Amino acid sequence: MAEKRNIFLIGPMGAGKSTIGRQLANELHLEFFDSDAEIEKRTGADIAWVFDVEGEEGFRTREEKVIFDLTEKQGIVLATGGGSVISKETRNRLSARGFVVYLETTIEKQVARTARDKRRPLLQNGEPQEILENLAESRNPLYEEIADLVVKTDNQSAKVVSREIIDRLGF
């Protein structure tokens, strides 16, 4: 049997990793995973709770471990959390184990898409626009560093983005 391949979605909060990842996995008949959902499954608690109780550092330790474990698999689509790339180990791991697709969008779209959702702890204290700009400054170079493919998600639906990824990766 030919080796199954993996697709890993990276990019900032609200880029559409979780939504597009699910769509992509459906279309390609691959298994879908989301690192946040996997952390919630393992802890039996939501992401906000993990941040509250264990701090961001505790969350990052869990995130690194979950991504390490999921990337042992073959034939999956994995939506990562927006901050996962701050770990060098995770960046190396993603690069080594599959195609890395960077979903890029504007800060304005990120703000709009995350506005009604209280589940992202990093956006709950302060001005989302400013927080997202600061995160972009430190993280965008890390997304770029490991991206095999960059796809804009600001002006097209999840379905169209998913088709574009399939076409451009030649899956």
Ligand X SMILES: Nc1ncnc2c1ncn2[C@@H]1O[C@H](COP(=O)(O)OP(=O)(O)O)[C@@H](O)[C@H]1O
Ligand Y SMILES: O=C(O)C1=C[C@@H](OP(=O)(O)O)[C@@H](O)[C@H](O)C1
Closer Cβ to ligand X, 1 or 62, answer by number: 62
Burial class (CB in 10 A: 0-12, 13-18, 19+), 117: exposed
Distance, in Å, from the CA atom of 84 to the CA atom of 169, rounded to the nearest integer, reads 23
Nearer to ligand Y, 7 or 47 (CB): 47
CB of 161 to ligand Y, least distance (A): 15
| Binding partner of 153, given ligand X, ligand Y, Mg ion, none, CB within 5-8 angstroms per partner class | ligand X
Q: Are 101 and 8 in contact (CB under 8 A)?
A: yes
Query: Distance between CA atoms of 58 and 133, rounded to whole angstroms?
Result: 24
Q: Which does 28 bind (CB under 5 to 8 A by kind): ligand Y, ligand X, Mg ion, none?
A: none
Residue 67 main-chain phi, psi, to 5 deg: -70, -40
Residue type, 139: R
Q: How many CB atoms lie within 10 A of CB 141?
A: 10
Kindly list the residues in this chain that would bind ligand X in the complex (CB under 6 A): 13-20, 79, 113, 153, 156-158, 161
Q: Which SS3 state, helix, strand or coil, does residue 74 take? A: coil
Task: Find out whether 69 is annotated in a ligand binding site.
Answer: no
- Residue 18 within binding range of Mg ion, rule CB under 5 A: yes
As measured in angstroms, the least distance from the Cβ of 2 to ligand X is: 30
Query: Count of alpha carbons within 13 Å of 19, Cβ hemisphere only?
Result: 14
Least distance (Å) between residue 161 CB and ligand X = 5
Judged by CB under 6 A, does residue 122 bind ligand Y? Answer: yes
Given 17, 91, 93, 97, the residue binding ligand Y (CB under 6 A): 17
- Of 47 and 147, which has the nearer Cβ to ligand Y? 47
Secondary structure tally for the chain: helices H, strands E: 7, 5
Sites of contact with Mg ion (CB under 5 A):
17-18
Sites of contact with ligand Y (CB under 6 A):
13, 17-18, 36, 47, 81-83, 120-122
